[in-house]
Amino acid sequence: MLIAVDGPAAAGKGTLSRRLAEHFNLARLDTGLIYRTVAKKVLETKDPENNKIAIEIAQFLSLNDLDTNGLRDEAIGTAASKISAIPEVRKTLLNFQRNFAKNPPNGKVGAVLDGRDIGTVVCPKAEFKLFITASSKIRAERRFKELQDRGKEAIRSAILRDIIDRDERDSIRSVSPLLPARDAQILDTSKLDPDAVFNLALNFISLKI
Ligand code: C5P
């Protein structure tokens, strides 16, 4: 079983994917974490604007590198969105993601991958494709609350700006732009809580099983 969950930043992909993975006993790959990990490693080098370094870091990435610590900050998200527009970085990470989908770890019989281009590019043959979205204002508000809950300082207007900029960068890039696959079920979560989103996703999946 292969489930692709795509959508813009802070739309609720992560929460939904985690719940789907638990429900169907699947391995889960948060592909944003891959780009964030590469971005963090690039920022730690002396030459973060050098694309060659980003490509090299992407080539040597392993599953063990995907540690969530310190990767959730907006600054890392923005850096990830910049390096993710480098075609060679995407090409290298494509193999990594496809390999995960084909050979899910820990003996799992399937996988759920969430990101921006899973249904369109990484796993175009996935049986189940969901595209999760919400208005930029609602997504900024959710991110603001999430940061507050983690005890981080946050400014609403700056978060909204970041989200709008990141949406634009992710949507206009030439390689794998943020787009729903033609056969994806689109879920606008602006007025839905996580339980409602999960139930709608389960409905969609059970209709296709
Ligand atoms: O989903 P998340 O906010 O963690 O992703 C960080 C950035 O990584 C995104 O803004 C996007 O530019 C990039 N990304 C991508 N393709 C994916 C997942 C994430 O380009 N499949």
Q: Which residue has the tokens 């079983």?
A: 1
Q: 159-185 in b/e burial notation, b at 16+ Cβ within 10 A?
A: bbebbbebbebbeebeebebbbbeebb
Number of domains in the chain: 1
Provide the 3-class DSSP secondary structure of residue 128.
strand
Which among 206, 36, 67, 192 has a CA at the least distance from the CA of 128?
A: 206
Which pairing describes strands 27-30 and 185-188: parallel, antiparallel, or unpaired?
unpaired
pLDDT of residue 70: 81
Q: Which domain holds residue 66?
A: 2-202
Cα(109)–Cα(24) distance, integer angstroms:
9
For the segment 24-50, the average pLDDT, to the nearest whole number, is 96
Q: Could you give the percent of the chain with pLDDT greater than 70?
A: 100
Residue 190 confidence (pLDDT) above 90: yes
* Both structure tokens of 132: 């999760």
| Residue 80 forms part of a structural domain | yes
Provide the 3-class DSSP secondary structure of residue 196.
helix
Which residue's CA is the closest to the ligand 1 atom numbered 19? 32
pLDDT of residue 69: 80
Ligand 1 neighbour 32 (Cβ under 6 A): yes
| Residue 23 forms part of a structural domain | yes
pLDDT of residue 73: 82
Which residue's CA is the closest to the ligand 1 atom numbered 10? 81
CATH number at residue 93: 3.40.50.300
| Residue 34 forms part of a structural domain | yes
Least confident range from 37-41, 66-70, 77-81, 93-97: namely 66-70
pLDDT of residue 164: 96
Ligand 1 neighbour 80 (Cβ under 6 A): yes
The string of DSSP codes covering 2-25 is EEEEE-STTSSHHHHHHHHHHHHT
Q: Which atom of ligand 1 is nearest to the CA of 9?
A: 3
Residue 68 confidence (pLDDT) above 80: no
| Residues paired with 5 in a beta bridge | 114, 130
Q: What is the pLDDT of residues 99-139, one digit of tens each?
A: 999 999 999 999 999 999 999 999 999 999 999 999 999 99
Question: Nearest 5°: phi and psi at 202?
Answer: -60, -40
pLDDT of residue 203: 97
| Residue 90 forms part of a structural domain | yes
Cα(125)–Cα(76) distance, integer angstroms:
30
Secondary structure element (H or E) that encloses residue 95, with its range = helix 87-102
Give residue 144's pLDDT band: very low, low, confident or very high (50, 70, 90).
Answer: very high
Q: Which residue has the tokens 């959710």?
A: 142
For the segment 190-200, the average pLDDT, to the nearest whole number, is 97
| Residue 208 forms part of a structural domain | no
Of 111 and 68, the structure prediction assigns the larger pLDDT to 111
Question: What is the pLDDT of the chain when averaged over all its residues?
Answer: 95
For a substitution probing ligand 1, which of 35, 42, 67 has the most ligand atoms within 8 Å of its CB?
35
* Both structure tokens of 29: 């790959």
Of 67 and 42, the structure prediction assigns the larger pLDDT to 42
| Residue 103 forms part of a structural domain | yes
